[in-house]
Structure 1
């Protein structure tokens, strides 16, 4: 006999947990099925431990900058203990796993350890047990993948493997052009590793605004990161030992098709994309459809097309950000269990941040998309490029670049793009304003806070 619930949530990541807890708050009988650690990618091998590493790298940068502010560090050579930090970071993540488990227990949500597999549209199987519910949410997320080339899987790791490194590699190769690759490159470089970043096109972060792409690329080159454009790694060999790797990478230029070799890397990290965790679900037993990239197709209300079955988060391949999954999960439970039939997440103007060095942030349309959608003649673009006061005492003075994209005579702000120190924190507040429909005049009417970098956004002409 199948055990029956009001709500079955497949996946104990941020989106699944948020939806489960919100449903339980309204009295629903909820079960959550997870085959790994609670918290999903974000808590275990994503946002949370990544931010710990970014903080660490930022402290290293501050140590380098200290002498420019009058601190005499002569004779002082701070050493960095990677293993110590890893152990503390892992303990912190483990504590978060426990907090999630405690909260689910307090909400009387039954946690089922195992992998869910559909039997039909209303029933899933975990081991030998059957579970059924009127409402089933699929929130099993995505995973990083490694291309099928000789030596790639044997000698390389994904971003998940980055968090398993017991020692800091002195020389590391990173393949990828998205924000994960860019973030890991910045962390390694700031901590003193020699970094080579292999990208398949001429630029990285191609979905972001040009101000962000160009700004980060310039700073990374200035920081000593080697960027190899138009490159595809076609073979990986280890010329060293299992414990002391010396990886040799065969690389092909995409334009010229010429092949060359790069040697002596201690680590190779693949950050070339993510794929949906759909295989164990046995979706062929249901009517659920996948798109051409293997992600579940769901509408704006998270409906899969199969009555009573929903999907959200990375499994859908749209706005693959933890806060978006959390918000969508809560909205869904409001609709299903709190009599709010119109409750859904508005996927427009979701802010996103790149924890690069320095950081960058974006909300709304990048310039190239705004031009394609509205025509350049209907846009007015404001920009400011300046040196953040933080760098005024330093010899190296990276440029901060802010861009505001406005539409029509009322100059409604439809895009905001920040590159420079503290962009991550600055963007959150301005994201609220843009979500509310702010215009350039609204920005101008806000009195500046001086001296800050953010004041440029309300004084721009």
Structure 2
């Protein structure tokens, strides 16, 4: 009668039967709950195992989160300042233990081997060194061409130190800093608007960027798209009136806000260093220091790492890794260079976006569309099901080379805990993982990350990429 008879309607039996794609028959008991429970299709996992366990685990986590929220809502600002101060103290104590002498001064070059340092009180300190490393980082930029921007606006640096709620806030910019700040301001219940001149998350995969902003809109953040601010004025009520121009229609509009936050990029903090005096070359447009693969500047014994260097990711972990490797090379411990390929990162918006490797656009640009295969899926996190949360923007895609081995060029994930998910997969991609290897990886059930190990629908096929079951 049958080509295959499967006895048992649990995870293994169902998977086997579905894979064969032939007529099949499953013997199962009816679905009743009593001592010595029996159930129908789905087995232990669906009925009394993985799925209910994870849902109850999520309920317990939410219970703990509610307790934490009572504390955080009352003293979040105090806790943040305490945490920051504690870290400052720990770092200051840590340096002497490593035989590092700390000077709290503002430094600038007097000559290629000499730094002149000034304290806040104007006391001068002269320091000389055989080798010098510049790692002064960046600071947020103000759009000084916008009237009132500097007088009445703040930046993300200021936002974290406000003593009162920012109230109704306009965040200007489409960077990850802009979207992250707008996301948590909306999340704590503030009326928040993002003004974007052009595209969101420039440099990131644009399909993913659009999904991020779509979710933010459904989450409650307002967006003014293709708009450019022209002036900020202070009203008698102390509110700030912002005027902007819509670049599509050419019309001018205004609205008032309690706070205007600029997130229009960061600039290297190098102006006071007198780099031109000692011959350190910078990019005339960005102001960033030009370095080679060894992090060396145009002056042989002067080096630079981190956000101030041209062409490097503006990420803390890359600065840390580059700094460590530079020190090891300078003192003969290693000859290893920093590898800036396949650096993972995450945008901590309300629905997180994590990625590693090339965007789809960059992969097409590098290899051509005919040589790229994109596996993708829309999925629904288990945590979203009972709460009936919108999951239409929960999406993942894997960009691969269309060759026999199908090397993975990029992995992009939007959903809960995206940073944790991408950190785990980053090692494999750094090691040259292929699509077949990933398909041999067993997923952890029930997690969002396991959906990556089941990607099988390609964009090229045109098939529906919605995940419909376990």
Which category describes the TM-score, using the shorter chain as reference length?
Answer: 0.7 to 0.9
Q: Compare 138-147 and 386-395 and name the one that shifted more.
A: 386-395
Q: Taking structure 1 as reference, are residues 219 and 130 closer, same or farther at Cα in structure 2, changes over 3 Å only?
A: same
Distance 1:182 1:371 in 2: 26
Deviation at 1:129, TM superposition (A): 2.7
Whether 1:370 and 2:391 are equivalent positions in the alignment is no
**Deviation digits for residues 162-184 of structure 1, max 9, x if unmatched?**
01211223311000100000000
The normalised TM-score by structure 2 is 0.79
Distance 1:193 1:398 in 2: 23
Deviation at 1:445, TM superposition (A): 0.9
Corresponding residue to 1:117 among 105, 108, 111: 108
Distance 2:226 2:436 in 1: 42
Whether 1:231 and 2:227 are equivalent positions in the alignment is yes
Distance 1:254 1:123 in 2: 50
Aligned 1:55-94 pairs, distance under 5 A: 84-94=75-85
Whether 1:276 and 2:268 are equivalent positions in the alignment is yes
The SS at the match of 2:88 is: helix
Deviation at 1:66, TM superposition (A): 7.5
The SS at the match of 1:134 is: coil
Distance 2:98 2:370 in 1: 54
Whether 1:212 and 2:203 are equivalent positions in the alignment is no
Q: How many residues align?
A: 386
Whether 1:98 and 2:98 are equivalent positions in the alignment is no
Whether 1:447 and 2:442 are equivalent positions in the alignment is yes
The SS at the match of 1:104 is: helix
Distance 1:374 1:442 in 2: 22
Contact kept, 8 Å, 1:209 with 1:366, in 2: the verdict is yes
The SS at the match of 2:129 is: strand
Partner of 1:459: 454
Deviation at 1:130, TM superposition (A): 2.1
Distance 2:134 2:168 in 1: 40
Deviation at 1:205, TM superposition (A): 0.9
Corresponding residue to 2:411 among 405, 412, 416: 416
Distance 2:154 2:206 in 1: 30
Distance 1:332 1:84 in 2: 41
Deviation at 1:255, TM superposition (A): 3.0
Contact kept, 8 Å, 1:83 with 1:167, in 2: the verdict is no
Partner of 1:6: none
The SS at the match of 2:185 is: helix
Quote the RMSD (CA, aligned, Å). 2.1
Rg bigger for which structure?
Answer: 2
Deviation at 1:442, TM superposition (A): 1.3
The SS at the match of 2:379 is: strand
Partner of 1:142: 138
Distance 2:151 2:73 in 1: 24
Q: Taking structure 1 as reference, are residues 66 and 235 closer, same or farther at Cα in structure 2, changes over 3 Å only?
A: farther
Whether 1:155 and 2:148 are equivalent positions in the alignment is no
Whether 1:262 and 2:255 are equivalent positions in the alignment is yes
User: Relative CO higher for 1 or 2, CA cutoff 8 Å, sep ≥ 6?
Assistant: 1
Partner of 1:402: 396
The SS at the match of 1:188 is: helix
Whether 1:289 and 2:281 are equivalent positions in the alignment is yes
Aligned 1:346-365 pairs, distance under 5 A: 346-365=339-358
Deviation at 1:70, TM superposition (A): 11
Distance 2:202 2:252 in 1: 25
The SS at the match of 1:393 is: helix
Deviation at 1:120, TM superposition (A): 1.5
Distance 2:322 2:433 in 1: 24
Deviation at 1:153, TM superposition (A): 1.3
Distance 1:212 1:96 in 2: 34
Distance 1:333 1:181 in 2: 34
Whether 1:312 and 2:305 are equivalent positions in the alignment is yes
Deviation at 1:339, TM superposition (A): 4.0
Aligned 1:153-192 pairs, distance under 5 A: 153-192=150-189
Distance 2:117 2:350 in 1: 44
Distance 1:103 1:446 in 2: 41
Q: Compare 179-188 and 123-132 and name the one that shifted more.
A: 123-132
- Which consecutive aligned stretches of 4+ in structure 1 deviate over 3 angstroms post-superposition? 78-83
Whether 1:327 and 2:321 are equivalent positions in the alignment is yes
Deviation at 1:115, TM superposition (A): 1.1
Contact kept, 8 Å, 1:174 with 1:198, in 2: the verdict is yes
The SS at the match of 1:305 is: coil
Q: Compare 421-430 and 128-137 and name the one that shifted more.
A: 128-137
Partner of 1:336: 330
Q: Compare 320-329 and 86-95 and name the one that shifted more.
A: 86-95
Distance 1:141 1:366 in 2: 26
Distance 1:405 1:435 in 2: 14
The SS at the match of 1:105 is: helix
Deviation at 1:454, TM superposition (A): 0.6
Deviation at 1:425, TM superposition (A): 0.7
Q: Taking structure 1 as reference, are residues 273 and 122 closer, same or farther at Cα in structure 2, changes over 3 Å only?
A: same
